[in-house]
Each structure stands twice: as structure tokens, then as C-alpha cells.
Amino acid sequence: QNDCSEFRSQFEASGRLSCTRENDPVRDASGKQHTNKCLMCAEKFKNEAQRGGGTAQRNRLPTSERTYQ
């Protein structure tokens, strides 16, 4: 299963996911092969963040709910 939910909480707002380099090849939904599941998810999260739909964006409050002091 190529669900990345187990890594989502480890994804840093800076756009990084720390992964080991173990060789356990997996393919993503497009068929691209990755060295392991963590590295596949790191690329997925990075692409989401670049499109503006990543974890960092999702964790931000809507503008109407932010307070400035």
C-alpha cells in the first residue's frame, strides 16, 4: 500500500522528510520507482507543498481566523 499517512506527521514545515536509504523499492501511482516508501512520500509531500496543497498549508489557519499582535 502506497499510503503516506504514516509519514505525514514527520514532514517538516520546511519541506523536508528525513528518510533512511534502505533499498526497498516501491512504485507510486504514476508508476515511477522509488528507493523506498519514505523517499516516495517525501517527493509526494514536496510536490504537494509546491502546488500549495501540502501539509504546511493545511496546518495554517484561514486568514479570517489568524490574530496579529
- Extract long-range pairs of 42-50: CB within 8 Å, 24+ residues apart: 42/7, 42/11, 42/16, 42/17, 44/4, 45/4, 45/7, 45/8, 45/11, 45/15, 45/17, 46/15, 49/15
**Domain residue ranges of the chain, discontinuous segments joined by +:** 5-51
Q: How far apart are CA 53 and CA 28, in angstroms?
A: 18
Greater model confidence, 59 or 20: 20
* Predicted confidence (pLDDT) at residue 63 exceeds the cutoff of 80: no
**Comparing 33 with 17, which gets the higher pLDDT?**
33
* pLDDT over 80 at 13, yes or no: no
pLDDT per residue as tens digits for the range 34-57: 999 999 999 998 888 888 855 444
Pick the CATH number of 5-51 from 3.30.60.30, 3.20.10.10, 3.40.50.450, 3.20.20.70: 3.30.60.30
Report yes or no on whether pTM surpasses 0.85.
Answer: no
